[in-house]
A and B are shown apart, each in its own frame.
Chain A
Amino acid sequence: MKKAASLLVLVVMLITVSGLASAQTELSFWYHGAGNTAEGEVFQMIVDDFNASQSDYVVVVEDFPQANYNSSIVAAAAAGDMPDIVDIDGPVFANWAWSGWLAPLSLSEGATEGLLPSAISEYQGDLYAVGLWEAAVAVFARRSVLDANDIRIPTLDEPWTADEFDAALEALQATGEFDVALDLGMVWTGEWYPYAFSPFLQSFGGDMIDRDTYLTAEGALNGPEAVAFGEWWQSLFERGLAYGTSQDGADRDTCFIDNRCALQWNGNWAGAAAAEAAGDDILFLPAPDFGHGNIIGAASWQLGLSATSEHPEGVNAFIEFALQDEYFVAFSDGNGLAPPTKDAAGLTMNYSSGAAMEVFYELSEAQGLVRPVTPGYPTMALIFEKALADIANGADVQDTLDAAVDEIDQDIEDNMGYGFEDM
């Protein structure tokens, strides 16, 4: 009798425990930035707040090192074991959506209002990801150096023209005070090349792909405008105005701070260190205009919903919850990232009016152009990177761009147009 009673108690306890567990559904969330404590802490704060704010879902974060994050997702997708909430690098989302790994988000009306367009990732009419921050690239400079060489300080409305920029580089190089006039960050292989350098090409009037059809790069990447860009690009290295592809990583990190390069093409994440080194002398200048507008790359890491998630409502609720000024400000203050809305920008330490990096928000808003939104982007980006590296090293401009076009077009054809036409 006693035995039976204790058994009954055990059964009741088990039911209660499992009942409690099933009342709250677990949502897994993979985060790309293991080791980035400032950013990770804000994410943890959002997760804790969200978990406390309702009783249906519990979000659980798993950290991945950035270098291995994308391959982890690829492996997880192949194994059918994706997390519910996916962290996505902006330009890759279309590839993942096309591969069937992401499901469209269904946020309530107005949830994305006020966000920079580049923080909203749409493919074929569906919303797949939203960003909680934005990144921007600028020309880092010292006011004293520009003044000493009679170089005009450009503004967003009146950026440097191609000739002005070129003359400025020549003048700075001629002073003999610097290793090079301009540090482009050639050592940062990978996504930096299309992110930071394709805007130059676009400003010349070319592009990585024909954005009308997304079916060919012919004309866009090897037309006269693109060749003009290539000739200019090559000349930067021929004339010794910029570090080449064999640049030392340490030079990238320190040359502007140590005054060994006069200008540096760098992102907002490096802005705080540069501002600290140069003090009031620091300038963050907009990209030059080579004829077709002054442009910088856009779209950073964003949040999306995996196609295999059994709880899309929960994921949508979480992402909507994360879209609050409070969190935008926390990411910005914690990690130097640009906030994705104007309201949030005004509340941050670095981007509010008069603050050191205020200009970056304007840059994102005024100059930001997303990289081509096509599933073929990851392959295209690598082809583009190799073409730019080869041209920098002296390869024939037209032949190199032709070869890049052929490879991109072949890839598009192999993938049956990546969904951009019925084949």
Chain B
Amino acid sequence: MTTAAEARRNSPLWVRWLLPKDAPLFQRNDAVVGWLMAAPALIILTVFLVVPFLMAFTMSFTNQRLASPNPAEWVGLRNFERLLNVQIFSLEPERDAAGHIVYDDGEIAYPRLRSFTRNNPDYPHLDGMRELTSWQAGENRTILLAADVVFFRALINTLIFAAVIAPLQGGLALLLALLLNQALPYISIFRSVYFAPVVVSMVVVSLLWRFIYDGQNGLLNTLLGIVTFGSFQPVDWLGNPYTALPAMIAMSAWQAVGFHMVIWLSGLQTIPTSLYEAAGLDGCGAWKKFRYVTWPGLRNTAVLVLIVITIQAMGLFVQVDVMTRGGPLDATQSVVYQAVQRGYAKQDIAEGSAISVILFVIVFVIAMAQRYITRERN
């Protein structure tokens, strides 16, 4: 049993300076030491995460500008209404004087939507809204209108991005990890090669992939041309609204796959080899070993990888900023890109904050749901 005095004598200099002379620190007050140890991280988290979030939350209910001589005012839920307001509107066909439907090239002709959404005193609730999507309902055309189409596109793209990249990137990373988890000569070279893109800044990777995806003489088009003996028609990968987001997903998965490969590898290496040997003795093939030994052993790793990839994906920004700036035709808008664009570039920090708050709620819900779905069931 050491006495307080002995503990004091043995403790580092800074502890002796910080604490009163005969504090029986190490016996009775471990909590103090604990808080002291956690303090640097806590302070940094508070200053750079908690406080800014609380500020953003507060600002999202005001009309605060980044720079303005006008004082900020409380505006209640205005920012959220502007972002989230949606309406369903049924567009009736155009009819001639006799009341018959007008056809244009065999298709039903409709009046222009803008005649209802712009300065039409009969439809004040539609003013300034735009079409998000529409479908045919009998002879009418039903239109889903949104006050902020760009924000909804950003939201949808971000969710698609996350939904596709989580299994894609996690699965590829697992495949690589399984391939590299073998005692082959020079295996560490391969590990380094696959890990290399992670070390390179996303900005640089994005710039490089812009050249790879170039529609005129990009590497990918040239390569596909060679492989198919010239029968491949060059695609403007980032310039085409249909290929831009998939191209961005593929490139993002490639960039980050090495990081999650390393996490999978560390998980794989915690599985005792004796289990594999036992399974081998029981006559299990490669697939059964994976199904009944490897996969259960990777459970916690899988949860971690899934949640980390999803949260990172929801923060999609750099690729968009460097490669497409949200285009073409909003095909690659992302929520964070819109938050930065509006809050900073357009100087509407209140609206940018409102977007951040919405994103926070979505990420929180998704993370909790994932946690619930992947919980231990005993």
What is A's interface to B at a CB cutoff of 8 Å? 71, 74, 77-78, 95-96, 98-101, 179, 189, 244-246, 248, 250-251, 378-379, 382-383, 386, 389-390, 393-395, 398-399, 402-403, 406, 410-411, 414-416
Contacts and interface: CB of A to CB of B under 8 A. Distances in A.
A290 B230 CA distance: 42
Contacts, number: 83
- Which 3 A-B residue pairs are closest in the complex by CB-CB distance? A246-B239, A393-B328, A99-B67
B214 interface: yes
A403 B130 contact: yes
Contacts of A398: 112, 114
Interface string B294-316: 00000000000000000000000
Nearest to A249: B210
Contact of A74 (B67, B69, B70, B112): B67
Nearest to A180: B216
Interface string B223-262: 0000000000000111101000000000000000000000
B239 A77 contact: no
A399 to B, nearest CB: 7
A378 B128 contact: no
Contacts of B347: 378-379
B329 interface: yes
Contact of B65 (A77, A250, A402, A415): A415
Contacts of B114: 398-399, 402
Contacts of A101: 67
B289 interface: no
Given A95-B67, A179-B216, A390 B329 contact: yes
B278 interface: no
B236 A244 contact: yes
Contacts of B348: 379, 411, 414
Nearest to A406: B128
A389 B67 contact: no
24 contacts: A71-B344, A78-B67, A98-B68, A98-B69, A99-B67, A99-B69, A100-B69, A244-B236, A245-B239, A245-B327, A246-B215, A246-B237, A246-B239, A246-B324, A246-B328, A248-B217, A248-B218, A378-B345, A390-B327, A390-B328, A390-B330, A393-B327, A393-B329, A398-B114
B211 interface: yes
Given A389-B328, A390-B327, A248 B211 contact: yes
B291 interface: no
A406 B118 CA distance: 9
Interface on chain B toward A: helix, strand, loop, or mixed SS? loop
Nearest to A250: B211
Given A98-B68, A410-B128, A415-B70, 19 more contacts: A71-B344, A99-B67, A244-B236, A245-B239, A246-B215, A246-B238, A248-B210, A248-B211, A378-B346, A379-B347, A382-B346, A390-B327, A390-B329, A398-B114, A399-B113, A411-B346, A411-B348, A414-B63, A415-B65
Contact of B214 (A248, A383, A410): A248
Interface string B91-121: 0000000000000000000001110001000
Nearest to A189: B325
Interface on chain A toward B: helix, strand, loop, or mixed SS? helix
B66 interface: yes
Contacts of B214: 246, 248
B327 A99 contact: no
A98 B68 CA distance: 7
A86 B17 CA distance: 48
Contacts of A383: 346
A98 B66 CA distance: 13
A27 to B, nearest CB: 23
Given A245-B328, A394-B329, A411-B346, A99 B210 contact: no
B67 A379 contact: no
A393 B69 contact: no
B240 to A, nearest CB: 8
Contacts of B66: 74
A142 to B, nearest CB: 21
B341 interface: yes
B69 A246 contact: no
Nearest to A186: B239
A382 B345 contact: yes
Nearest to B78: A414
Contacts of B218: 248
Nearest to B82: A410
Contacts of B70: 415-416
Interface string B193-230: 00000000000000000110011111000000000000
A395 B65 CA distance: 30
Contacts of A399: 113-114, 130
Contacts of B65: 415
A411 B348 CA distance: 9
A98 B69 CA distance: 7
Contacts of B344: 71
A271 to B, nearest CB: 25
A99 B327 CA distance: 31
Contacts of B341: 382
